[in-house]
Amino acid sequence: MKKTCTLLLTIILICLTGCEDKKSHESNTPIENTTDILSPKGKVQHDIHENKTNNTAPATTSRHTFVLNDIEQSRYTISIDNKSITSTDITAPLILINLFATWCPPCRGEIPYLSDLQKKYKNKLFIAGVLVNDRQNNSTLKTFIKKHHADYYISNSEDNDAFAAQLVKGLQLPENFPLPLTVLYKKGNYYIHYEGAVPVEMIEHDIQEAIK
């Protein structure tokens, strides 16, 4: 009888010990998994919050203002903002900016045709020739203008090179851009540009389309 009781007691103790070990093992597993899952999630949420905060920084303006003047000291103030320009001095709805140099043969070849366009569309078009990388005194430039029949506005301003650099930057063109470079704006907004010399018929066609 004693042996039987002892055997039963031993079996009961073994069963109780096994259940406690099993319960302890099962309760630890989900806690560890939960911790592993929540930690990365919390970090991602924190990173998103930081990025959102950084993106609220105020935007900076890209507007730059320049003063152009010709040999008669007629002044025009023009502001460039990326691909757009504004000027309270110019009333024509279309503005054609022609970056050129006196030493550039294709530039010289375009001058008579630009003069014809200025005369033909004088109430709707303002053409501004802007000398770049080409410093000329007013006396020399006056002789050049007369010789090549440049009957439109020619800027010989100290701002010319800086103006050209900002205009080219707004168009996302390389710093070593080809001459002549001609840009057409409609009501201050970029319309089209031409790199190098192009047929005057092409420019006039785009002028007529912009007028519509």
Q: Are residues 92 and 154 in the same domain?
A: yes
What is the residue-averaged pLDDT of the chain? 81
pLDDT exceeds 70 at position 55: no
Most confident of 8-22, 35-49, 168-182: 168-182
Q: Are residues 49 and 87 in the same domain?
A: no
Report residue 189: phi and psi, to 5°. -95, 140
Give the number of domains in the chain. 2
- Which residues form the domain of 36? 1-57
Query: What's the pLDDT at 61?
Result: 61
Asked if 96 and 183 count as a contact pair (C-beta separation under 8 A), the reply is yes
Region 10-25: what's the mean pLDDT? 45
Q: Which of 41, 57, 73 is the last residue of a domain?
A: 57
Q: How confident is the model over 113-139, as pLDDT tens digits?
A: 999 999 999 999 999 999 999 999 999
Which residue shows structure tokens 């990388």?
133
Query: What's the pLDDT at 189?
Result: 98
Query: What's the pLDDT at 26?
Result: 43
Between strands 153-155 and 125-131, the pairing is parallel
pLDDT exceeds 70 at position 21: no
Asked if 131 and 102 count as a contact pair (C-beta separation under 8 A), the reply is yes
Query: What's the pLDDT at 62?
Result: 76
pLDDT exceeds 90 at position 23: no
Q: Which of 37-41, 55-59, 61-65 has the lowest mean pLDDT?
A: 37-41
Q: At what angle do helices 138-148 and 105-120 cross, to 10 degrees?
A: 70
Q: Are residues 19 and 121 in the same domain?
A: no
Report residue 35: phi and psi, to 5°. -65, -40
Q: Are residues 84 and 161 in the same domain?
A: yes
CATH at 93: 3.40.30.10
Q: Are residues 116 and 12 in the same domain?
A: no
Q: Are residues 25 and 67 in the same domain?
A: no
Q: Are residues 133 and 207 in the same domain?
A: yes
